[in-house]
Structure 1
């Protein structure tokens, strides 16, 4: 009986040890679910539906990004018109705005302030903006309504830069940067092919670099052209992205929550009501 009792005790101890040894595995998997990127670049284009861009002969470059990255086939803008969508993507809220009026100043939490407050870095680059830190509403083909970070008093003017300042040494980019092309190159006033060519010529080198330098490119749109229930293209391309088409319903709030999660930030406003995208990473 004594031998039997000892044997049972040893067996129970061994089983417990095996369970304990296996326990960390789920945590390890969870920790690896979201990459820790060195750099993330978000590009916001204008006023076109998913079908007008992805797979369209007018947009061969964005289509190639969708084919080589994570193509979110059920991505939707929050509202119409443009400006509230930019605010939603940047701050998790439209801030009550229902039009494209300018100027506005908000003090609410937002992605730029979150990053800076956590010791990380943020910069926004606007094409055709006449000077760094510019706060005017329009200048040539630049429109402040497409530049959400300038609307927030808790984001320093040093983060509001011209696209001419975008570095050629990508290792000097901040943790997260936004690029907003001007009113022609974002497809607002000019055609899809113009915006697609601009993206390839100006940021194609970054996209290629990102795949081998622990970095990410996100291309999305503010809204559709009011023809397709506000369904828009959204593509994730770069290192650690599992190529494929992903049909889950996402919005600007989902993209924001994903950016926050990728950089270890808490959620803000309506981004707290959604989960980050978790199935596109390898």
Structure 2
């Protein structure tokens, strides 16, 4: 069997390993509190960020994205802790994932596209493709991602086991997975010596908050049991009671200028529209809106358009500029004079494995350049990175190639069994935009 044929088998074996770990569990706090470092997270924080500068936004000065996993809206909405959170914030009743399974949704929220991805395998996005980090740094806005149970800062691996802190006599548990850590997938971040230091752990989160250096843009991913992936919505509720609720009353995290967006990557049921529960919390949510609902049609692309509107950022020129799927959160749109689209016939967002792209081995096409004429919610231009070929637009791409039929895979797919270290093969001209 060729290496190309073997690769999907290796990756599916890793996925099966995760599935076999999904057993009945009881929530156990990993630490005495969300801001107390713990050996249960393998490595203690040995550094803190130096983010003192604040770039003022129209509606908020800090945003914290918290993502949970694989739950239908109705299931979440009927769970008491989530009902309580909805009473404290603005419930976004028509917020949607953009596809299935998990990984492409994480990419979409940070890069404005999922490039045909329809699995959770190990990929990397070439360094000439821009992402949310480029938009933020273009305006001097600090950022970080915090990954629970990631074994160390800058970790590049596919999966990581750690001692089972809830059941010490049990085997180590695969708490961390790369597919939920989107920024590490972008070469523009993970292969940059300075940027990669901002891919951080939960112990780092505690350290940064205590030192007053929590950035302005944050992406938080709980581990595989606390995010409901391997457990239940009630288990995730217990985690939020332990971790999130204390932070809501801590001014070092939640000031009057803070927006906290708690949501899910995708619905559990693939046969229905991809509606997921989402709530806007924090001091930046106007008092008159707390305890109310907003039925505007939003998707994960709205997380990009909302920060673009808030800080007057450039865009990525991808789905973040597609007005139908990138409405700005209403209270932010109001403060920035952005006009949302009233969507009466939303696109199907539960489709998978049908979109050609550089991550679809069955319908492979190269990475295309973004639409350089697109208008984003921040009213700026389109931000591109060095090495991009602007002539390789979506309309000029070659016909999709079925690489699977050729016993091959996408050149951007890697094997977790054979990839070592953080350095990767540079982008090949034939496969890059």
TM-score range, shorter chain: 0.7 to 0.9
The runs of 5 or more residues in structure 2 that have no matched partner are: 1-56, 162-174, 190-194, 336-433
For the Cα contact (< 8 Å) 2:122–2:158, is it kept in 1? yes
Tell whether 2:305 aligns with 1:257.
yes
Give the helix-richer structure, 1 or 2: 1
d(CA) in 2 for partners of 1:176, 1:52: 29
Tell me the equivalent position of 1:86.
106
For the Cα contact (< 8 Å) 2:256–2:284, is it kept in 1? no
Tell me the equivalent position of 2:90.
70
1:240 alignment partner, one of 270, 284, 294: 284
What does the per-residue CA deviation read over 1:134-193, in whole Å, with 9 as the maximum and x for residues that have no partner? 000000210000110001122221111111211343842101111101111110001111
Tell me the equivalent position of 1:116.
137
d(CA) in 1 for partners of 2:249, 2:262: 14
Tell whether 2:168 aligns with 1:125.
no
Larger radius of gyration: 1
2:177 alignment partner, one of 119, 129, 143: 143
Q: Which has the higher contact order (CA 8 A, sep 6+)?
A: 1
Tell me the equivalent position of 1:161.
200
| Aligned residue-pair number | 247
For the Cα contact (< 8 Å) 1:75–1:233, is it kept in 2? yes
Tell me the equivalent position of 1:10.
none
Q: Provide closer, same or farther for how the CA distance between residues 137 and 62 of structure 1 changes in structure 2, counting only shifts above 3 A.
A: same
For the Cα contact (< 8 Å) 1:41–1:178, is it kept in 2? yes
1:272 alignment partner, one of 321, 325, 340: 321
Q: Provide closer, same or farther for how the CA distance between residues 34 and 120 of structure 1 changes in structure 2, counting only shifts above 3 A.
A: closer
1:189 alignment partner, one of 207, 225, 230: 230
For the Cα contact (< 8 Å) 1:34–1:278, is it kept in 2? no
What does the per-residue CA deviation read over 1:239-271, in whole Å, with 9 as the maximum and x for residues that have no partner? 231221111111111122112222331222111
> TM-score, normalised on structure 2?
0.54
The runs of 5 or more residues in structure 1 that have no matched partner are: 1-32
Q: Provide closer, same or farther for how the CA distance between residues 252 and 132 of structure 1 changes in structure 2, counting only shifts above 3 A.
A: same
1:46 alignment partner, one of 69, 79, 83: 69
Give the strand-richer structure, 1 or 2: 1
Deviation at 1:85, TM superposition (A): 0.4
Tell me the equivalent position of 2:269.
226
d(CA) in 1 for partners of 2:263, 2:93: 12
